[in-house]
Amino acid sequence: MMQWVIDEKPFNVLAEHCRASAPRFEPGMVTVVDELERRASVSSFFWRRDLLDARNGDGKRIIAVHPVMNDTPAFEYLFSELRPHAASADKDLVEHLSIAACAHDLPEAVFVAADKGAAFLALSELGRGRVATPFDLWDDLLGRSVIALDDFKRLCAATERSMQPLRTPVRLRR
């Protein structure tokens, strides 16, 4: 099973989509960092919290939450390499935490980037095959029959609207 670590913007698109249809993916397939969970917990958009709280039939959380703990290699890497001058700023914190988690704690995970800056930073830090667009995640969900074709199309359209100038790649258009 592919493990996807998603940035905040793709998470928001997925959460908005899951307002209408309950998520059916396997626990641990989609992961977010704990900072995204913290932000969602104080968000006025309840569907963000609802997606994070969603559980499967066995009571397991569908979305895994990965903490980047103090005094770990990922934490040291975060503040020595990714954020050496931005220790207290919130800008890009979720993407930087996600990249640090993928680099040190989740070596097989693929980071789903939402913008050029995040994509290029992740590509240079994680290497090829470890960075993807939201469209690739939606395609994987479709390929695993977790979502239907109509859901895939809606997710792609919502991604295009919220993350301009991204557009559905020709290779994934259906």
CATH assignment of the domain containing 23 = 3.40.50
pLDDT score, position 87:
62
Between 149-162 and 8-17, two packed helices, what is the crossing angle to 10 degrees?
A: 130
Flag whether 152 is in a domain: yes
What are the backbone dihedrals phi and psi of residue 155, each rounded to the nearest 5 degrees, phi first?
Answer: -65, -40
Q: What is the pLDDT of residue 25?
A: 84
- Residue 174 inside a domain? The answer is no
Q: How many domains does the chain have?
A: 1
Query: Which residue stretches of the chain have pLDDT < 70?
Result: 86-88
Q: What is the pTM of this model?
A: 0.92
Whether residue 46 lies inside any domain: the answer is yes
Tell me whether residue 73 is in a domain.
yes
The Cα-based distances of 120 to 12, 47, 105, 126, 155 in angstroms read 21, 29, 20, 10, 23
The whole-number pLDDT of residue 88 equals: 65
pLDDT of residue 164: 82
Is 118 domain-assigned? yes
Range of the domain at 75: 4-169
Question: How many angstroms separate the CA atoms of 134 and 30, rounded?
Answer: 12
In this structure, is residue 26 part of a structural domain?
yes
String of DSSP letters for 29-49: SEEEEHHHHHHHHT-S-HHHH
Cβ–Cβ under 8 Å, residues 95 and 72: no
Report the pLDDT value the prediction gives residue 29, as an integer from 0 to 100.
95
How confident is the model at residue 107, as a pLDDT?
A: 96
